[in-house]
Amino acid sequence: MLSVTENLINFEKKILAACQSAGRPRSEVTLIAVSKVFPVSCLIEAYQAGARDFGENYVQEFEGKWPEAKDLSGARFHFIGHLQSNKARRAAEIFHCIQTVDSLKVAQRLNEGPHPLDIFLEVKLSEEGSKAGVDPQHLPTLIEGVRALPNLNLRGLMTMPPWSEDPEVARPYFIRLRQLAQQHSLRELSMGMSHDFEVAIQEGSTMIRVGTAIFGKRVKPAQA
């Protein structure tokens, strides 16, 4: 098995190749290393190999990593799991960016946090994909509501297409997310994972969320 450092080096080459073939500068795409389920030592190894943006799915799990992770200079932590409103206040304290906002209620809780927060709205584009996310029909109202909250900086949209081995299955969802972002003058698109990041980069992704390709297969059950 390759180490996290070797995985990152190999994956960086793939991102560069995908950007080149899509005619986009590498600097347009942020790699989020999804460290959920892995111990903080893996996160630190990725940091030492150059990773700066990390994705975590569970507030409670990241709470355990936080004492060691918080002092990594320049590291940014993105929450990418489903956020319950009773955990939102704490999430606003320990994360820099919340990518899965899908209701005004959660947004209002996040707005009460101690520092300005970057957020993405998660959009539900399919029945089989992630169960979370705002219906595209309700997106304009949510955007309006969120833009009125002074502590939140709305960066863009995020989506999870239905899972398929075939990355082409995700393409129409990525295109749809890009169109919705354009309609609302939002610049950032969080889309693409280990198996479909190349298609996501072709379709304009500015943030790819990559776990398996960096840290390996997740075996431990996730902690809620």
Angstrom CA distances, 53 to 31, 72, 88, 197, stand at 7, 11, 20, 16
Of 160 and 186, CB closest to ligand PLP: 160
Q: How far is the CB of 36 from ligand PLP (least distance, A)?
A: 6
CB-based contacts of 219, cutoff 8 Å, min separation 6: none
- Looking at beta carbons, which residue is closest to ligand PLP? 211
Judged by CB under 6 A, the residue of 153, 179, 182, 212 near ligand PLP is 212
Q: How far is the C-alpha of 81 from the C-alpha of 14, rounded, in Å?
A: 25
Of 107 and 210, CB closest to ligand PLP: 210
How do the residues of the chain divide into helix, strand and coil, expressed in percent and rounded to 5?
45, 20, 40
Of 113 and 167, CB closest to ligand PLP: 167
Of 148 and 222, CB closest to ligand PLP: 222
Cβ–Cβ under 8 Å, residues 149 and 103: no
Q: How far is the CB of 79 from ligand PLP (least distance, A)?
A: 10
Neighbouring C-alpha atoms within 13 Å toward the C-beta of 170:
26
Q: Is 210 in the site for ligand PLP (CB under 6 A)?
A: yes
Q: Is 34 in the site for ligand PLP (CB under 6 A)?
A: yes
How many Cβ atoms from other residues are within 10 Å of residue 189's Cβ?
26
Tell me the number of residues near ligand PLP by CB under 6 A.
12
Cβ–Cβ under 8 Å, residues 81 and 101: no
Q: Is 211 in the site for ligand PLP (CB under 6 A)?
A: yes
β-bridge pairing 188-190 and 76-79: unpaired
Site residues (CB under 6 A) for ligand PLP, limited to 177-196: 193-194
Q: Is 209 in the site for ligand PLP (CB under 6 A)?
A: yes
Q: Is 57 in the site for ligand PLP (CB under 6 A)?
A: yes
Region of 133 on the Ramachandran plot (φ > 0 left; ψ -120 to 50 alpha; else beta): left
Of 71 and 96, CB closest to ligand PLP: 96
Binding residues for ligand PLP, rule: CB under 6 A, are: 34, 36, 57, 80, 160, 193-194, 209-213
